[in-house]
Amino acid sequence: MDSVPRELLQAAYRRNPIYLLKIPLHFSLWAAITWALYATQHHPLALPIGVVCSFMIANLIRGLGAVAHDAVHGSCSRSKLASYLIALVCWAPTGMSVTLYTNYHLHHHKIANTYPDVDNFVVTDYTRSPVLARLLLLAVYTFAYPLYFLFCMARYVKRLSPLQRVRMNLELVAWWGLMAFFFWVMPWQVFFFFYALPFIFGAILASVTSMIEHYEMLPGEDAYSSRTYGTSARFVNFLWNNVTYHNEHHKFPGIPFYNLRSFHEAAYPYYDDRVKSACYPSILGVAFELYGRILRLDIAKLDERYRGLNKEAERQKMMALNGIQPGATA
């Protein structure tokens, strides 16, 4: 990807604030769906309508998370305050502190796919049984990734300053307090489809896409650190705000979400074969391919990857590193 012409990169890095209107659009669609849940709560088909609405909300929340992710990278605004506020508003629906996420995610870019990277789930740290290892991988990469993720976040809380920890807790209290208020004022059925079921669907989306993006990818050159997927899934990318162009994002983290697809299409002829082999037009196709790899997991091969590595020393060394700086262009 180093051979991509400079003019393509310059165009890709160019900000266009008009695309931030996706933020009120996503929240407005969420509000409209909530109105539909109220209007149909006594309908004979309320259950299937509610499930469809919940799945749509989960996808909208994922798209808002993608905008927050860009704000964390400084791609939405040059202002640190504006970037924080955008990230806060868009990340809050995930139920997680954006202050904690910022520390983790910028560090993830620094240590992508190394042993201590949260996105590199090393199953042999938990079980040596091939059968249990496969089952655990399937669980984490089907629905349980957020649970594993939260378990790992304890190491990132330790990296926060006292003031950042206060801000982290204020963010969590504010969001979950708002959800408690909605739970109190909404009919339980409406609240379930408004947030509870979307939260479950969101866990599934996060688990599957985490697998697609980084499972079995190796550390080193950013051009080879992740996969791009769903390039033909235009509607999904509209909802998810192009988060599927993950390889491009890792190589050039400063490209705003709204430029990733056009950059991919313009730059693709300049990709080498290895990068092209990690680009997929679909989402489910690559997911099932990776599930197949999990079912064929070779414990010995995984052991070979970490043979001779002092895991605890490696974790301490990597956790001592600062993450990449917001606004990084490569």
pTM here is 0.94
Counting as low any pLDDT under 70, the low residues of the chain are 328-330
| Per-residue pLDDT tens digits for 288-323 | 999 999 999 999 999 999 999 999 999 999 999 999
Q: Secondary structure of 129-147 in the HEC alphabet?
A: CHHHHHHHHHHHHHHHHHH
User: Helix axis angle, 284-295 relative to 130-139, nearest 10°?
Assistant: 160
Domain layout of the chain by residue ranges: 6-319
| CA dist., res. 15 & res. 307, Å (int) | 45
User: Checking phi first, is residue 135 left (phi over 0); if not, alpha (psi -120 to 50) or beta?
Assistant: alpha
Give the torsion through C-alpha atoms of 214, 260, 208, 59, to 10 deg: 160
User: Checking phi first, is residue 181 left (phi over 0); if not, alpha (psi -120 to 50) or beta?
Assistant: alpha
Q: What is the pLDDT of residue 1?
A: 82
Number of separate helices (H) and strands (E) present in the chain: 18, 0
Q: What is the pLDDT of residue 2?
A: 86
Closest CA to 258 of 24, 19, 69, 18: 19
| Residue 59 identity | N
Angstrom distances, CA of residue 290 to CA of 33, 127, 176 = 33, 20, 35
Q: What is the pLDDT of residue 329?
A: 57
